[in-house]
Amino acid sequence: MSTLTSSELRRAVALLEAGDWRAAHEIVQRDEATALACWAHGIVHIMEEDLPNARYWYRQAQRTFPTVISAPAEIALLKNALRPPTAGSSGEGRR
């Protein structure tokens, strides 16, 4: 097992957006240690309709399993979490 690069994780998210959870699974299953990869793995299993496995991966990611299950909403949240902070979002550069 290895840690995914941000590029690999973004690729997995793009595959999830396209509905190709099998290809996304091939990527995310290589990283069982990082929270974002575990979250993506959980989304894969939501899309696969394997909710017990999805719940497991959400626990691994230390995320609350959604009460209303929506793969598109979870993908959007994950995609947002992968975005680098924008200038000024931390308050730096403002006077």
> How does pLDDT run along the chain (95 residues), one tens digit per residue?
689 999 999 999 999 999 999 999 999 999 999 999 999 999 999 999 999 999 999 999 999 999 999 999 999 999 999 988 776 655 444 43
- Nearest 5°: the CA angle 19, 75, 42 is 85
Give the global pTM: 0.87
Question: CA 47, CA 92: separation in Å to the nearest integer?
Answer: 39
Nearest to 60, CA basis, from 75, 30, 39: 39
Distance (Å, whole) CA 40 – CA 69: 14
Instruction: State both tokens at 36.
Output: 């974002």
